[in-house]
Amino acid sequence: MKSFYRTQSWPNQKWRWIIPILLLLLFLSTLIWLPWQAQRMEANERQEQLIADSLWVEQAIQFQLNRNDEVLRQIGGEIISAKLQKETVLDRFRAILKNNREVQRIAWYDANNKVVADTREGTLANAERLPVPKFEFGTLDVSEETICLKPVLEINAKNAYLLHCQIPLIKDEHRIGSMMISYRMNGILEELVPWWFAQDNQISITDIDDRVLSERAAGGSGKSVYTHSRALELPSLTLILRTNSIKSEPKLLSNLLVLSVILLSAGLIWSLMALWRDINRRLAAEGALRQQVTFRTAMENSLVTGLRARDMEGRLTYVNPAFCRMVGFPAEQIIGRVPPMPYWAPEAIEEYQQRFTQLLAGTVPSEGFETIYQHASGERIPVLIYESALINENGRQTGWMSSILDISELRRAQDLTRQQEEKLHTSAKLATMGEIASMLAHELNQPLAAISSYTTGAINLLQSGIVDRPLFQSALEKVNAQAQRAGHIIRSVHEFVKKREATREPVQITDLIHTVTPLVELQAQASHVALQWQILSGLPMILADGVLLEQVLLNLTRNAIESMQKTPPENRILRIETSYDEAMQQVIVAVIDRGHGIPSEVAEQLFSPFFTTKSSGMGMGLNICRTAVEFHGGKLSHRDNPVGGTIFQFALPIHQQQQSADQ
């Protein structure tokens, strides 16, 4: 019995020891795991915090650079419109330097890259002696985008890198100058990076080749434990913002029991400190966010472009003051409304409904579209609208954002320009006919004199009593031919000078040339110029206004004839040719003379309005010709004639319906 109880008690004693041992091992493993887990969590938290702070710093730098760019673009707009003089521009530049210590220099250059105003020198004479960064501008492609050059090392006592950004000044699609703003790379970190961030991190800016352009280490060198890199996307340039925390990796305490006591005793204090730190950080973040929101709201309120936000059901959720001024309704009256909107014009309701249906279906136009809005006063306003999807922070679409431009002034300017061009074309045609008038009178005298001679002969035959029927019939036929010739000349002049609206219809270029042939012959005969024609038959149709192209032909032939006034008589040859460029789908007309040619200095201004080399010219002939050809989608050009003289030619696209039929 004793041995039996002994045998039964051994397993119980064994389990009594195993359970405490297991609990002790669990406790020890927990004590070991907790600091290790705490170390990992702290390391992850530090890394995440570093990433968040780096993102904030990168956005702050981007925001300030973009803000400077916007301020300079506003100054550039006033420079383009000639509202600012050099002294005023310098004062504005110096105000920017005073408020932005990261900026070292701002300069204004003219179209030849010569300095007009520079903050580094007080006078233009001194400013022109400063080194000018070299910018490459295309001759055909004019871009309005800001260009940032690779940072260069400034050779001075500090040996600091400078970042040059150039803002072009574009007027009428031509560059009239530029502005250049130079940043100190060290100044960007010193002025735009908060002190609290620089105190905990080593910050540097490098290029894509890892060349260090600037560095700030207020708290010492980084430990390379917590690092992060962010790309600074500048116009035409990418830099890298690198942060390296000075904090080292958390270490485990050697005595885990001491750690547990410290954790138990200091847990409450640590919690309170962590809470206090988190509250302060949140307050700082909320203050920075509030400041950014206030600034962005101020920017939106100062825009002249209307902004409108709608949810997925088409309900208005936001409008800016510019949109309210555009439609004449206050924000509280239209926010929350669903279509139909009070600013929709009744005559365009169907168009609005169709576009709204497409928008609800997710079909957002990639390009802007034009429509009309109705102001609260009833006035119709032409607008240009750009739509885009409104995406939240989670990447989900919550609605649509629209930017609306009032293009009323643009439409009025276009109408005025078109009216002025029509008046100019009419004046040019009348001036052309004034020059032809004397030659026309001489030319009409010939058929009229012939008619008089033939009718006198016919009367003499009748009076003589001897009627030669074949001779009499021949005289009458010649009278009829001369009368038709005179009538054809008069009809050509009448069709050319009569005023009408410009219309475009399918025409044959050969027919247009035949129409103006009598008028060209009149000019050529008066100047003893021989005409040569090489007109291809069967050319494709073009979509054109016949009278405008007739005026182009008359202006070009008249200029060619006048250029040969001092040419020997045997070389006074005017040649008119037609051809077809199958690759470009264009009909080409060339007017070739053997006159005095065009000097290079004259060729540069040949198509400029009011530029002329004639003592009695208006300087509008070639400008009108180019405008008329471009109105038809073509191009007018000139080149030297190898045998002497000049070749003017214009190319016109063929009619699209015929092009489709040929294909």
pLDDT class for 223, splitting at 50, 70, 90?
confident
Q: Which fold has domain 303-406?
A: Beta-Lactamase (3.30.450)
Q: Which fold has domain 412-501?
A: Helix Hairpins (1.10.287)
pLDDT class for 152, splitting at 50, 70, 90?
confident
Distance CA 80, CA 177 (A): 9
What is the three-class DSSP state of 606? coil
Higher pLDDT, 196 or 24: 196
Beta bridge partners of 507: 542
Q: Could you tell me the two tokens for 516?
A: 């103006």
Residue-wise pLDDT for 383-427, tens only, equals: 888 888 888 888 888 887 888 888 777 777 777 777 776 666 666
Residue-wise pLDDT for 579-599, tens only, equals: 998 888 899 999 999 988 887
Who contacts 143 (Cβ-Cβ below 8 Å, separation ≥6)?
168
Look at phi and psi of residue 109 and say left if phi exceeds 0, alpha if psi is from -120 to 50, else beta: beta
Q: Where in the chain are all domains bearing CATH 3.30.450.20?
A: 47-248, 303-406
What mean pLDDT comes out for the span 50-66? 88
pLDDT class for 158, splitting at 50, 70, 90?
low
Distance CA 140, CA 614 (A): 30
Report whether 309 contacts 399 (CB < 8 A).
yes
pLDDT class for 319, splitting at 50, 70, 90?
confident
Residue 282 has pLDDT above 60, yes or no: yes
Check: pTM over 0.85? Answer yes or no: no
Cβ of 618: how many Cβ atoms within 10 Å? 15
Report whether 204 contacts 219 (CB < 8 A).
no
pLDDT class for 82, splitting at 50, 70, 90?
confident
Q: Where in the chain are all domains bearing CATH 3.30.565.10?
A: 504-663
Higher pLDDT, 89 or 18: 89
The correct CATH number of 47-248 out of 3.30.450.20, 3.40.80.10, 3.30.210.10, 1.20.120.400 is 3.30.450.20
Q: What is the CATH number of domain 504-663?
A: 3.30.565.10
pLDDT reported for residue 384: 85
Distance CA 660, CA 654 (A): 10
Residue-wise pLDDT for 200-222, tens only, equals: 888 999 988 888 888 888 888 88
Residue-wise pLDDT for 326-341, tens only, equals: 888 888 888 888 888 8
pLDDT reported for residue 608: 59
Cβ of 279: how many Cβ atoms within 10 Å? 10
Residue 578 has pLDDT above 90, yes or no: yes
Q: Minimal CA–CA distance to 58: which of 197, 209, 225, 211?
A: 197
What is the three-class DSSP state of 228? strand
Residue-wise pLDDT for 268-280, tens only, equals: 566 667 777 888 8
Higher pLDDT, 246 or 36: 246
- Compute φ and ψ for 578, nearest 5 degrees: -125, 150
